[in-house]
Structure 1
């Protein structure tokens, strides 16, 4: 099963870091937050990734093209150029990097991956947030619900799209932007999608969190997997500092891998 990661935005609220690199490449503990997200999925056996790039996508491309070279010990014969890898640090991942356009919206980026996904169920998340979501439980929940899309509902940090949930089930009854009076669970990403979701995305200008998700709600095709554990997106420099502190403590909640 493939994991789509939205990694194309410019990250204007983190401009101190994103003037020279895309937001998913901002580092936590000397590793891009994108790497942390991928490690979390890989822990649950999900190791085939499709990175949906846009802004400074060349930085992401170079990172993965040079991953083994910059992460491994080696001996090089300068006369011949022969290299002996002493300790290859390659991950057992298969990574596709797509340039989905500089100004393409989130829905449009997803739509551009349709040919890569084909007719298969896929995971989807944002390239700037981490959590200790149990992906196995999420996938099992999605299969039980039998819907086109499942979104992970999380305890909010206070600034995200609000999910209206039925009291006696896990179906989403509304999806809208947050206002000052809102409390409760919000959209934390970490979706599981059927290929039918491509049908609710119109074009490059479509914002995934707006019309597509509203259409899924109208068709009773959006379920919510409730996650009560850790979740934090890296939206601001303060968020980055919090994540750095947690990682430096050796007790980062999202580090589910060994």
Structure 2
């Protein structure tokens, strides 16, 4: 089963990091956030990836072309033919990565549509290249198959951007909760989709989160998998710093792998 990862956006809200590299290559704990996302899926047995590239996609291609050399010690025998022997424990076994150029200005639905030729199963997975979670992807897929409809999204309880205050009648602060969870649900991505969803996409400017999902919902073909655990999307420089703080402190809930 293929896992599509949207890697083409320009990351305009964190230009400090994305001016010279795509957001999926911004590092958390010394590794691209893309690597963390792939490790989550791989932990649950989903090892076949399609990366939908756009902005500075050549850098993501170079990352994977150089992956073995950059993550292992190696011995090289110069000359023709060149021979390289890698040493070390960082070799990723069993992962297959397709790098698909889906256009610089293509929107999310258009990227998925352009990557359709690489999907050869009835079901595929889709996520974003900037969000991590402790979602049990195997249970998510089982949930999708159990309800039998075309699309599943993972829903989480959003966190307020602001600290919330409890005040008494004269304005004295009784309690301060920093960034509490709010009421209701929001989409965290981590989709499971039937390939018939491709029929809901209509060209490069199609925004997946708008008409396709709205139509699926109106036809009662969209079901939410309610995730009460951790989810965090790295959309700003401050959020980049927060994820790195979690990793450095050893409190990284999305690290489901050993």
Tell me if TM exceeds 0.5.
yes
**Contact (CA 8 Å) 2:152, 2:222: kept in 1 or not?**
yes
1:30 equivalent in alignment to 2:30: yes
Q: Trace 1:125-204 onto structure 2 (pairs within 5 A).
A: 125-158=127-160, 183-204=183-204
Q: Distance in 2 between matches of 1:58 and 1:194?
A: 29
Q: 1:9-28 maps to which residues of 2 (within 5 A)?
A: 9-28=9-28
Larger radius of gyration: 2
**Distance in 1 of aligned mates of 2:29 and 2:193:** 31
Following superposition, which runs of at least 4 residues in structure 1 exceed 6 angstroms of deviation?
A: none
- 1:111 is paired with a residue whose SS is helix
CA contact (8 A) 1:153 1:225 kept: yes
TM-superposed deviation, 1:74 = 1.2
SS in 1 for 2:52: strand
- Residue by residue over 1:109-158, the C-alpha shift from the partner in whole angstroms, topping out at 9 and shown as x without a partner, is 00011111134200000000000001111011101111100000001134
SS of the residue corresponding to residue 76 of structure 1 reads: strand
Give the count of matched residue pairs: 236
Q: What is the TM-score normalised by the length of structure 2? A: 0.88
Give RMSD over aligned pairs.
Answer: 1.5
Report whether the alignment pairs 1:224 with 2:231. no
Secondary structure, counterpart of 2:204 in structure 1: coil
Aligned to 2:112: 110
Q: CA deviation at 1:228?
A: 0.4
C-alpha separation in 1, matches of 2:183 and 2:57: 36
SS of the equivalent of 1:104 reads coil
Quick check: 7-16 or 73-82, which moved more? 73-82
Report if aligned partners of 2:2, 2:49 keep a CA contact under 8 Å in 1.
yes
Q: 2:89, 2:78 → 1: CA distance?
A: 20
What residue in structure 2 maps to residue 162 of structure 1?
none
Aligned partner of residue 255 in structure 1, secondary structure: coil
2:68 match: secondary structure? helix
Q: Counterpart of 1:87?
A: 88
Paired residue secondary structure (2:132): strand
Given the two structures, how large is their TM-score scaled by the length of structure 1?
A: 0.88
Following TM superposition, by how much is the alpha carbon of 1:88 offset from its aligned partner in structure 2, in angstroms? 6.1
